[in-house]
């Protein structure tokens, strides 16, 4: 066990953003115990998880899910972590069999590669859905969309449905063109991008920020911000949250078993990770999974078409 702990520590230190690094580290990161159930190790399947705040955090959150699926289906699920821009290659080249990432990516790859949408993460006030907010400090005097003109704004990642797409659509729908009406806008680099958006507004670097409601709520709950300091200028419609999908080449029976396992998980379900008993949902910061209903993604598809975003982009 000591050797395993040392190997894990070295693996975490070596995590990077390159595709091959993400693939190799994700597959060899946590050493997983399979003592309680029989797991077929002969033909492992690969599930790709989108990196959230950092490779280390993503591994700690989602490695238990891979182990849970291994135990419930009887097939070894190896996890891979990757950045949003890496998934196209992974999916096209069939280097993963299952996908977990934001709903915009799920829509894009479903359209291009006929993925089967299985489940949607449940987390926070809106369950398996979420919203995007436009925030400002109350002390700024910004109270309406009209007040956004000539202001400096910070968005989340460009492929973030609740940190970019939702807010961009809100502004256009309320008479503000970010390209023409803002004095300037930026997209932060590095990890914990949504936190950076909120802090950027809090500390006055930007006048306005685009942040997922779930991140605003979490930072307030953790005492990192005081909601009394902020005003929410606008909030989007609810749309499906992060999604688990099976690629077209994945075994259909295995996909059905994986879906059933996720839908039936409870707060008491545990796995062994590095000799420790871990509660799967607690580790993942989730409340469970809901069944993915294709029609619920239509509101997001329509916004992506309106904004001329991939895979609906027209040149």
Q: 38 pLDDT band (50/70/90 cuts)?
A: confident
Rg of the chain over all Cα atoms, to the nearest angstrom: 20
6 Rama sector, left if φ>0, alpha if ψ -120 to 50, beta otherwise = alpha
- Residue of 243, 278, 297 lying closest to 123 (CA atoms): 243
pLDDT tens string 123-143: 999 999 999 999 999 999 999
When the pLDDT of each residue in the chain is averaged and rounded to a whole number, the result is: 89
pLDDT tens string 48-62: 999 988 899 999 999
Pairing mode of beta strands 98-101, 40-50: parallel
- Residue of 66, 75, 102 lying closest to 87 (CA atoms): 102
Q: What is the 3-state secondary structure (H, E, C) of 39-61?
A: CEEEEEEEEEEECCCCHHHHHHH
**Cα distance between residue 272 and residue 24, in whole Å:** 21
Please, what are the domains in the chain? 2-125+241-297 (3.40.190.10), 132-237 (3.40.190.10)
**Cα distance between residue 204 and residue 206, in whole Å:** 5
Residue 278 has pLDDT above 50, yes or no: yes
Residue 9 has pLDDT above 70, yes or no: no
pLDDT number for residue 36? 52
């Amino acid at each position: 066990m000591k050797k395993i702990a040392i190997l894990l520590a070295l693996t975490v230190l070596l995590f990077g953003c390159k595709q091959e690094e993400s693939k190799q580290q994700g597959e060899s990161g946590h050493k997983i115990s399979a003592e309680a159930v029989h797991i077929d190790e002969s033909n492992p399947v690969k599930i790709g998880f989108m990196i959230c705040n950092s490779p280390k955090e993503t591994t700690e959150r989602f490695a238990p899910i891979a182990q849970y699926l291994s135990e419930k289906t009887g097939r070894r699920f190896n996890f891979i972590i990757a950045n949003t821009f890496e998934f196209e290659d992974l999916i096209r080249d069939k280097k993963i069999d299952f996908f977990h990432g934001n709903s915009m990516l799920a829509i894009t790859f479903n359209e291009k590669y006929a993925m089967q949408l299985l489940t949607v993460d449940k987390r926070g006030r809106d369950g398996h859905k979420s919203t995007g907010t436009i925030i400002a400090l109350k002390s700024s005097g910004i109270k309406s969309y009209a007040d956004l003109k000539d202001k400096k704004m910070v968005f989340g990642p460009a492929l973030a449905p609740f940190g970019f797409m939702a807010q961009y659509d809100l502004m256009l729908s309320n008479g503000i063109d970010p390209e023409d009406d803002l004095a300037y806008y930026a997209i932060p680099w590095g990890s914990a991008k949504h936190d950076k958006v909120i802090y950027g507004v809090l500390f006055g670097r930007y006048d306005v920020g685009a942040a997922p409601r779930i991140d605003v709520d979490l930072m307030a709950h953790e005492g990192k911000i005081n909601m009394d300091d902020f005003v929410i200028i606008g909030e989007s419609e609810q749309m499906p949250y992060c999604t688990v999908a099976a690629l077209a080449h994945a075994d259909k029976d295995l996909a059905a078993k994986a879906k059933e396992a996720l839908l039936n998980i409870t707060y008491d379900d545990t796995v062994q990770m590095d000799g420790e008993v871990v509660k799967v949902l607690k580790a993942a910061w989730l409340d469970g999974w809901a069944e993915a209903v294709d029609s619920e993604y239509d509101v997001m598809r329509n916004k992506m078409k309106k904004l001329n975003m991939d895979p609906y982009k027209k040149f």
